[in-house]
Amino acid sequence: MRLHTPRMLVAGIVAIIAFAIPSSSQATIFGQVSTAYTLDRGTTDMGGFVSVFESSTLVFGQYRRGLFSKADFGVQGGFVDPEASGMGVALGADVKFLVMQTGADAPFDLAIDPRLAYFNLDSYSLVTFGGSVVISRDYPLAQGSIAPYGALYMRLENVSFDEDLEHAPDRIDDSGMDLELSGIAGVRWDVSELLDILGELAFDRDLGFTIGMNFKL
């Protein structure tokens, strides 16, 4: 049976977005900023990114390294600047496992990506723990390649306030833990053997856009 790979990949990404739109969560802290494919063992990527959401801006870096066959890990860190509060620090980490690879029986790469993130502001802090399911596929170009990807990110969010609610974002009502969901659609352009450029949209309660680049070390 012939697999219509581009159609299936697009359909999968659209389904991820549609499923996530009803979410009432805060914006995802770091997005996905990687495809489903994992780095080879011992190889390293380092990147810098800017995320702009309706109620906040985030500037962060990411270090990724291949652990072993079909697994890599990433560490993220940066600064977040919400409209309703002072600048804060954001930290995160994830481990990604490639569970299905593009081939005769698989129309795209599929990975699971457990994630942990934290940021601290003047008036409150947010801790998230969960994971994303990521699909992507590389398409060769005359020079380099391009890889559309999508991710469905489910997580537990715990919000703790240090002061009263006056300086907290309007979308946060009270301290506590909630189960949240968001969808991400992006594309990675493999410009050369040394450089990737990524751009993605996050479909959360806050719509956001992330752009940046990875350097292959």
Burial class (CB in 10 A: 0-12, 13-18, 19+), 118: middle
Report which of 202, 210, 216 is spatially closest to residue 57, judged by C-alpha positions: 210
- At 11 the pLDDT is 54
- From 2.60.40.10, 3.20.20.70, 3.30.420.40, 2.40.160.20, which CATH number describes the 5-216 domain? 2.40.160.20
Residue where the block lists tokens 């770091």: 30
Report which of 201, 209, 178, 186 is spatially closest to residue 25, judged by C-alpha positions: 178
User: Domain map of the chain by residue range?
Assistant: 5-216
In whole angstroms, how large is the CA radius of gyration of the chain? 17
What pLDDT, in 10s, does the model give residues 57-114? 899 999 999 999 899 999 999 998 877 567 889 999 999 999 999 887 888 999 999 9
- How many residues in total does the chain contain? 217
What pLDDT, in 10s, does the model give residues 18-29? 444 444 345 567
Mean pLDDT calculated for residue range 190-205: 91
Mean pLDDT calculated for residue range 154-161: 87
